[in-house]
Chains A and B, each alone.
Chain A
Amino acid sequence: GIQVEQSPPDLILQEGANSTLRCNFSDSVNNLQWFHQNPWGQLINLFYIPSGTKQNGRLSATTVATERYSLLYISSSQTTDSGVYFCAVIRPGGYNKLIFGAGTRLAVHP
């Protein structure tokens, strides 16, 4: 099956710093989503981005489907950005399940 690898596994930032999280996937995808799992376990939708670039406030994401990777940019990080960031993909060909990476655990310190 498709492999989804996220890097780095852990990241510690000082408030105000910028960061880039990466998601590599081993096969073509129809769907790619980025989620933030907050300390209470809720998965919050960040981006639905099978290809291209999107921006939402301090966050932006780029997916280069032909090269099988996606990047999540966090600028001017805040302590509320702490949590785990997951990338998840769906393969083409009638497979409708999201396959998740192991996540990047982010801690932002004041």
Chain B
Amino acid sequence: GAGVSQTPSNKVTEKGKYVELRCDPISGHTALYWYRQSLGQGPEFLIYFQGTGAADDSGLPNDRFFAVRPEGSVSTLKIQRTERGDSAVYLCASSLFANTEAFFGQGTRLTVV
């Protein structure tokens, strides 16, 4: 596609539920990143994929968070047993290769009630 696409745009879920957030990167981009942005702050790194593998998952806050990219294109961020503190905008980005210009999707606003 022309840009990075994220679905859904908004997600409201109840505390304790499981959610999946999807990211479609720019076609041909090998690197994919997930970030989380809380109100009034800059985005914070969660995880980086190079191809199918998670090359750096040091930003995942705990083991309730997991992400996959099974075919080296689309990625899914999975959050188990959601908590109210997980409420944020989750941003996905992709770049042609690692350490080249990154392009962001419009984000998924997650609200845990």
Chain A residue at smallest Cβ distance from B55: A96
A90 close to B89 (CB less than 8 A): no
Closest-CB distance, B76 to chain A (whole angstroms): 19
A96 close to B99 (CB less than 8 A): yes
In the complex, number of A-B residue pairs with CB atoms less than 8 Å apart: 57
A96 close to B89 (CB less than 8 A): no
Chain A residue numbers with a CB within 8 Å of B103 are 45
Flag whether A108 is at the interface (Cβ < 8 A): no
- The stretch that binds B, out of A11-19, A36-44, A54-62, A70-78, is A36-44
A90 close to B101 (CB less than 8 A): no
For chain B, residues 31 to 58, give those with C-beta under 8 angstroms from any C-beta of chain A.
Answer: 31, 33, 35, 41-45, 48, 50, 55-56
> How many residues from A make CB contacts under 8 Å with B?
22
Flag whether B67 is at the interface (Cβ < 8 A): no
Flag whether B70 is at the interface (Cβ < 8 A): no
A41 close to B106 (CB less than 8 A): yes
Size band of the B side of the interface?
A: 20 to 34
B99 close to A30 (CB less than 8 A): yes
A100 close to B56 (CB less than 8 A): no
Chain A residue numbers with a CB within 8 Å of B31 are 96
Q: List 18 A-B pairs, Cβ < 8 Å.
A: A30-B99, A31-B100, A35-B104, A40-B106, A41-B89, A41-B106, A41-B107, A42-B107, A43-B43, A43-B104, A45-B101, A45-B103, A86-B43, A96-B55, A96-B56, A97-B59, A98-B93, A100-B44
